[in-house]
Structure formats: C-alpha cells, structure tokens
Amino acid sequence: MLGGFRAHLPFNVADYYHYYWFYHLLLCLWTYTFTTSAAVMIIAGAMGHWYFRTDDMPVRGLPVLRSALRLVCFQLGTLAFGSLVVAVVWMLRLTIQWAAKKMKSLQALPLAGVVLCMMECCMRCLESFIRFINRSTLIVAAFSGKGYCRSAHKAGSLLMANVLRVAAVSTSSRLILFLGQLFVTAAATTAAWWWLVYDPLQLGHSHVKVWRGEARAPVASLTLVALLSWFLGRAIMGVYWVVIDSVMMCFFYDSERDNSLPVSDRIQGRWRSKKILADSDDEADNGRSDLTQEHAHKRAV
C-alpha cells in the first residue's frame, strides 16, 4: 500500500531523507518548549488567581486545576504560538552551531567559520532574549486572559517601565534559588552517604564492614544520587522561580491601575523601604502630592 503510494509521487522520497531530521528536531524542540511553557502558564494562572483577589475574597478551590482547565479551554493557541517562536529560534541557533562545527572540522574557508561563530553568539543572545520575553508574555497572558500579541506588548511595556526592579528581583532570586539547589543536592547526597555507610536498617552487613574497614564510601552511588538530586532541585527551584516572576508581573500589572490592591500597596511600601524605586515613580508621587496640595488650597480659598 505504502509502496504504491510512493511510486505515484513526483519525486523520490529517499532523496530527501537527510532533510527529515530538521523536521523531527523542530518537532522535538517544539514539544519540549510547549510542555515547559504549559507548566509556566498553569503556575502563573494560579498565582494570578491568588494575587488579584481582595482580602474578603477566599481562594477558590483547586486553583492549579482551574488554571490548567483555563489553559486547555481558552489559551492553547497562545501557548502553541509562543512555544513555536522559541523552538524556531532554538532550531536556527542549533543549525548555525552545526554549520560552524562542520566548517571547523573541514578546515576550509576559515573566514566563513569565523562569521558562523559570530552568528552563533548573536543567536545565543537572541535566543535568551526571546525566551525571557516569551516567558513574561505567557505569564501576563495566563492571569489576564489576553492573546499573545497583546500580552507581549503589555509585558514589554511593563518590563521597560520597571527595569531597575526587574534587575534587582532577577539577580537576588537567581542567587537564592541557586543556593537552594545546592542545599537540596548536598542534603540528599549526605543522607545517601549516611544511609549507605551506616545502614540503619541493618540490611547489608558485609558492605558496611568493608566500607568502614577501608574508610571509603560508594563513590559511584553517591555520584548518581548527587546528579539526580541536582536535577530534582533544579525542578523544585524552577517552580519557585515561576512564582517569583508571576508575582512580580502581577504587581507591575496592578500598579498601573487606578485602584490597586492592598497587596500591591504593601509591596510598594517594601520597595520604598529598600530605596530601589525608579525615578519616574518618585516624580509621579510628587505630582500626586502637588495636586493634593493644590486641591486643598482651592478648598480653603
């Protein structure tokens, strides 16, 4: 059946086999990006439900499940388009990287190899920028319900208006989450070493005596535990990273409204106490105080 179908094609399928890996690689990158972006949108939607509620409004049941249902019912197009953009840029960067290594291995046209290396560096920068903007766009889309283009415009305007805040939060959060990841790895490896060496359940008497007599630990097992705990800690801290970014974008989004929520006012007070507000915010506050004094003077007259 398949052979008869191929016989009637205007081209030979075997001649295009070496191009198929581009297609399959793009699909793999798109699937991976789609999955990770879906997790980001689900967490961001749940955080938006928590953030944009008043003090007298209770948290409705199962916010993570409700966020996942909203994603499946209303925002799959936004998710698919955003993940496709990242996958295409990622694919271009990998293609340029492969071409640069190919030119280097052939040792021909050294100038072309240098140009490809420069293009690879530029593509890495572009990929990091696209990932950052796409992440913020999906977070805004998750709690606002807007489409991808409108969410991208809104996220870009919010990030540009709060550059100092974004830099402060990103730097401190990355450091704290990295230390948390190291703590998870060290704690898991130490617990595994204690369990393997001292054997609290007395399951392997011969191994315990050998390790104690020769004063050595099972290096291979501990290395495997350290690697697995490193990736586990990365996954755990990744959830907190999404939560931090979601709360930050919710605060930026709510601060532009006339009637901000009490939680935004409390965060605003903490920003003021740390003295890392932008000058525009101080000027805006000075403008509001001048208007208040002017109205008070008019009333007195």
Q: What CA–CA distance (Å, rounded) separates 174 from 138?
A: 20
For helices 20-51 and 110-144, the axis angle rounded to 10 degrees is 30
Q: CB–CB of 107/127 below 8 Å?
A: no
Element (H, E) at 248: helix 219-255
Q: CB–CB of 229/184 below 8 Å?
A: yes
The pLDDT value recorded for residue 277 is: 43
Could you tell me the residue ranges of all domains in the chain? 1-147, 162-301
Q: CB–CB of 127/93 below 8 Å?
A: yes
Q: CB–CB of 218/211 below 8 Å?
A: yes
What is the pTM assigned to this prediction? 0.76
pLDDT in tens, the chain (301 residues): 455 666 666 767 667 777 778 888 899 999 999 999 999 999 999 888 888 876 666 666 788 888 898 899 988 999 999 999 999 999 999 888 888 777 776 666 667 777 878 888 888 899 999 999 999 999 999 988 888 999 999 999 999 988 888 888 888 888 999 999 999 999 999 998 888 777 666 655 444 444 444 445 678 888 899 999 999 999 889 999 999 999 999 888 888 776 666 555 555 555 555 444 444 444 444 444 444 444 444 444 4
